[in-house]
Amino acid sequence: MISVDWSIIPALIIFILTVIALNYLLFKPVTRIQEEREKRTTGLMSQTQQDLAHHLHLFDQYQAMIKNARIEGYRLMEKARSEALLNRSAALEAARRNAEQLTQQARDSIQAQVTAARAVLEQEAQELAGRIASAILRRSA
């Protein structure tokens, strides 16, 4: 059997005090230094990854904004083009109607001139016929 010697109690107390002293003087500072080193290395990597993810998110937002701006620009250009086409077709239609109106006025004017010229020619022809008839009648008489 094992006999217990009372000298083990001071050895246990010294062991416990040594463990406590080593804990405060060695283990905690070493653990703190290791945690700080971990924070500086792995923590920086983690922070860098977070920053990279944030910047990628911002880049995606930027790309989306550029895409939306491009789409809006194309939409505005298409709207302006369609308005220009509408204005062009309206101007062409107005010019066509104006040309038709001018053509009709010219036709009416020419028709009126032809009618007036015929009337004048008919009157002159009757006068000339009257002169010719009177000239012939005077000679024969």
Q: What is the pLDDT of residues 105-141, one digit of tens each?
A: 999 999 999 999 999 999 999 999 888 888 888 776 5
Q: What is the pTM of this model?
A: 0.46
Determine the straight-line distance between the first and last CA of the chain, rounded to whole angstroms.
195
For residue 19, tell me if it sits in a domain.
Answer: yes
Q: How far is CA 110 from CA 93, 102, 117, in A?
A: 25, 12, 10
CA angle 98, 100, 105 (to 5 degrees): 95
In a domain, 32, yes or no: yes
**Domains held by the chain: number:** 1
With respect to residue 64, please indicate whether it lies within any of the assigned structural domains.
no
Do the domain assignments include residue 23? yes
Domain around 29? 9-48
Specify if 15 maps to a domain: yes
The answer as to whether 59 is a domain residue is no
